[in-house]
A = this chain, B = another copy of it.
Amino acid sequence: MVRTKSKDTLPDVELRLSTAQESARRSQGAASEVYKRLRRAIVEGEIRPNEPLIEADLAQALQVSRTPIRESLQRLAADQLITPRKRGWAVREYSLEEIRERSEVRAALEGYAARLAATRATDAEIAAIVAIQDERDRTADLTPAYRVEANRRFHDAIIAAARNTRLADDIFRVGQFYFNKHIAKLTTDEERRLNQQDHREIINAIQARDGRRAEDAMRSHIMQTFTVFQRISGN
């Protein structure tokens, strides 16, 4: 009997992968495609937390055998996106406490990246960062999706300027769960204003080549983002 849940309509949208993850895998083949799809489905919330992942069902839905499914589940577990059950795997649920921990890790890593960027960025890279933020401020179309994208580009530009691919990969790993469009929809005007102000402070510090100030600004920006989470989940 064929089981059809929502799984057989998984979207096949392209996923951004960190460079190391991309290069650490054969980037083509059935297993890789399965991995991208499952990852997308989990990150987007299509597969609910604690929902068990049945190998045979996924194989059926994605029209491959269980072997590439199993390989993908291994990768997802390494990404901490799924967690082992006595039997099989389930989508991982993140407690507020865990999000706090991850926020601290991100503050440590991305703060350090901002510090490095302040000393290592070329003038062109700084100009690019400023341009991204300027465009964000100029844009009228502030849909959640656009805000997520603009935010991501801002952070990515700083991380790139830090010139440390391992650091960039680890930031991607820990940060991949945050600020998606679902969250973006729930922010208040005041929070957005604070957010933009934070970005400007980071930019100012980098322009001044002040590593310590850039690091502090990035850290408090990230921990500020956590308080938004806290508000949203705490209501």
Contact = CB atoms under 8 A, between A and B. Distances in A.
Contact of A25 (B26, B77, B79): B77
Given A102-B166, A104-B164, A108-B109, 5 more contacts: A23-B84, A74-B74, A74-B75, A105-B112, A170-B170
B74 A108 contact: no
A66 to B, nearest CB: 11
19 contacts: A24-B78, A24-B80, A25-B84, A74-B75, A75-B78, A98-B166, A101-B165, A101-B166, A104-B112, A104-B166, A105-B109, A105-B112, A105-B164, A105-B166, A105-B170, A108-B113, A108-B167, A111-B112, A166-B174
A15 to B, nearest CB: 17
Nearest to A100: B164
Interface string A21-43: 00111100000000000000000
Nearest to A102: B166
Give the dominant DSSP class at A's interface: helix
A195 interface: no
A107 B166 CA distance: 13
Interface residues of A, number: 33
A200 interface: no
A131 interface: no
A116 interface: yes
A134 to B, nearest CB: 29
A128 interface: no
A209 interface: no
Contacts of A23: 83-84
Nearest to A215: B108
Contacts of A101: 164-167
A83 B167 contact: no
B104 A167 contact: yes
Nearest to A27: B84
Interface string A108-121: 11011100100000
